[in-house]
Amino acid sequence: MPRPSQLLHPARPPAPTRPAATVLLLRDTPGGLEVLMTRRSTTASFVPGAYVFPGGGVDALDSASHAQARRRETQSDLHLTQAIAAIRESFEELGVLLARRSDGSPANQHDIDALDRGAPFVAQCQSRCLTLAADEVFVLAHWITDRDLPRRFDVPFLVARMPEGQTPVADESEQFEPVWVRPVDALARHEAGQFFIIYPTIRTLERLLHYASVDAVLQACAVNERPLWTCCPRAGLLGGCEVRFMEHELPFGELALVCPDGQVVHPLDWQTEQPVALLKNVLRLTAPNPGAMTGPGTNSYLVGDPATGYLVIDPGPADPDHLEKLWRAAGGDIRMIVCTHSHPDHAPGALPLQALCLQHGQPRPPILGLPSAPTARAHSVFTPNRTLLNSELLTLIPRGSEADLSYISGHTLKVIHTPGHAANHLCLVLLEDRLLFSGDHILSGSTTVIDPPDGDMQAYLDSLDVLSAACEEHQLEFILPAHGYVIGGFDGEAAGAITRLKAHRLQREAKIVQAMQAQPQGTLDDWVAQVYDDVPPRMWPVAKRSLMAHVARIEVNLSLND
């Protein structure tokens, strides 16, 4: 995590979690997959009146009852305990019994009628020679209650096939109105205000939409005995309303950086009027240049504090209002201006911002970066006041404290040359807070266009490897891109995002090779329609530029192999 001294909100350890288990009982019908849900009591202490999957807390007897359960060879002790808890809760709440008799046949209604829902469950099963069918229960997901809530649970969402010949009957104390429902119908009824379900239930039902049968769900879960997803959601504000996000959703990383302990205070609305504080020493001001290639706009970053002054990363286009807001957000104390590359949505604001500082009687901040290469287009010509060296350190400390070796509260940015998107592209690492400012090399929610001749696919992929190494060397946890939200927020996600990005590029390149082999006389226009069939046709002219970069790399590799 960043330095505690730079966090915007005081530390507030979340409430501890309690272990629990939930089970989705599934069945196939002519209309599709259905799941069993019940309504919680309106007086329940947790989500009263909500429709839920049966489940409850894991108790000590569940972990002590392994000998009474059948298990898969690959089923861990933890998952076995959770399965036993889910089987017990299914019986206590709904009278559904996932068990087998001594001859291996499934338990039937006669066995259910002989058991008392209010008496110790496993002991009764043992007395009737019933073995719990834990081997038929699989882990679908792992949910951890949001950090901002006062009651929190650590819950596997398990799945099992509903036993044939059994009818669910609610206990009428905790659960009411058992109902079989297709996931699509449950979601539609919730949207219409007729079927109250909470966030983890909604998201789980959404995932079930991708499966046509019980077998499909169980087979997916059985592949590696791990949850298909793990989530501890985070909440922010959109339009003034509280909204929650899972780890794979774009705002998650930003919420993890700004509110690591789950405070629901951070506005996620894109706007260009005010700088957005991400840390005490990092501000983001988005330029008013939204579009297909810029997303919500170009992110200009201010790194520093009132004592050290500020370094500007990517002043953006030469927009007077935007530059004035940047200058004011820095209190006029801008020490350096760094351009990650020379494209027109990043660098043109550098000279007028420098002039604005001089106009107000401030020292002239140097414009730093890499000069544009001869391959750059006319609108991307850029000459910095000083060329930055690879691995060079840029340091912000209070004026006059250069000789004070006891001063430890500065901000150090390490330069990393990352050609590929542009020949003069660079990234910056804020070492003290483990942040990577990625420019256009890594974006949030989209992939970078590689536009030859200044863009080079081989250089781009090599630079991704350099950034992966930097993540490991400096234990980087968050990526701050030039377009979109912060990336990161859970173990290894900064490095994971880079790994997935490279894999995506190579998968796209494999499709290009297939298209070239299928149509050896084809043109770029012929190939782009096949390779980018998952991209709207309006974006194909842009995609064709990256296609060209891939083709150039493929041809070089072929020539090297000849």
Residue 406 confidence (pLDDT) above 60: no
| CA 199 vs CA 52, 172, 234, 245: distances in Å | 11, 24, 11, 9
Could you tell me which residues come within 8 angstroms of residue 344 by beta carbon, excluding any fewer than 6 positions away?
Answer: 317, 379, 380
Q: pLDDT per residue over 179-208, tens digit each?
A: 999 999 999 999 999 999 999 999 999 999
Q: Residue ranges per domain, the chain?
A: 17-231, 270-496, 507-561
Kindly tell me the burial class for residue 74, based on how many C-beta atoms sit within 10 Å of its own C-beta (0-12, 13-18, 19 or more): exposed
Q: Could you tell me which residues come within 8 angstroms of residue 473 by beta carbon, excluding any fewer than 6 positions away?
A: none
CATH architecture of the domain covering 270-496: 4-Layer Sandwich (3.60)
pTM: 0.92
pLDDT tens digits, 490-518 = 888 899 999 999 999 999 999 999 999 99
**pLDDT above 90 (res 218):** yes
| pLDDT above 50 for 389 | yes
CATH classification for the domain delimited by 17-231, as one of 3.40.50.10860, 3.90.1150.10, 3.40.50.300, 3.90.79.10: 3.90.79.10
pLDDT of 561 above 90: no
pLDDT of residue 53: 96
Tens of pLDDT, residues 78-116? 999 999 999 999 999 999 999 999 999 999 999 999 999
Per-residue exposure over 30-65, b if at least 16 CB sit within 10 Å of its own CB, e if not: eeebbbbbbbbeeeeeeeeebbbbbbbebeeebbeb
Rounded CA gap, 74 and 84, in Å? 16
Rounded to whole angstroms, how far apart are CA atoms 150 and 15? 6
What proportion of the chain, given as a percentage, has pLDDT over 90? 91
Same fold, 17-231 and 270-496: no
CA atoms within 13 A on the CB side of 517: 7
Give residue 402's pLDDT: 58
Residue 400 has pLDDT above 60, yes or no: yes
Euclidean distance between CA atoms 53 and 180, whole angstroms: 11
State the pLDDT confidence band at 149, using cuts at 50, 70 and 90.
very high
Q: How confident is the model at residue 404 (pLDDT cuts 50, 70, 90)?
A: low
* CB neighbour list of residue 356: distance below 8 Å, 6 or more residues apart: 323, 324, 327
Is it the case that residue 405 has pLDDT exceeding 50?
no
If one compares 490 and 270, the residue with the highest pLDDT of the two is 270
pLDDT above 60 for 408: no
Q: List alpha helices for 266-370, DSSP H.
A: 320-329, 350-359
* Long-range contacts formed by 465-471: CB under 8 A, 24+ apart: 465/502, 466/416, 466/417, 466/418, 467/416, 467/418, 467/427, 467/436, 467/438, 467/441, 467/442, 467/498, 468/495, 468/498, 468/499, 468/502, 470/416, 470/427, 470/429, 470/436, 471/436, 471/495, 471/498
Tens digits of per-residue pLDDT, 150-177? Answer: 999 999 999 999 999 999 999 888 788 8
Q: Residue 399 — pLDDT band, cuts 50, 70, 90?
A: confident
Of all residues in the chain, the percent with pLDDT exceeding 70 is 98
What mean pLDDT do residues 543-557 have? 94
Q: What is the mean pLDDT of residues 446-462?
A: 96
Average pLDDT for 352-356: 98
Q: Cβ contacts of residue 372 below 8 Å, gap of 6+?
A: 342, 380, 381, 382, 383, 422, 423, 424, 454
Band of pLDDT at residue 540, cut at 50, 70 and 90: very high
**Can you give the pLDDT at residue 407?**
47
User: Are 250 and 484 a contacting pair, CB within 8 Å?
Assistant: yes
Phi/psi region, residue 47 (left: phi>0; alpha: psi -120 to 50; beta: rest), is left
Name the average pLDDT for the chain.
Answer: 94
pLDDT band at 560 (very low <50, low <70, confident <90, very high): confident
Mean pLDDT of 421-431: 98
What is the radius of gyration, based on Cα positions, of the chain?
29
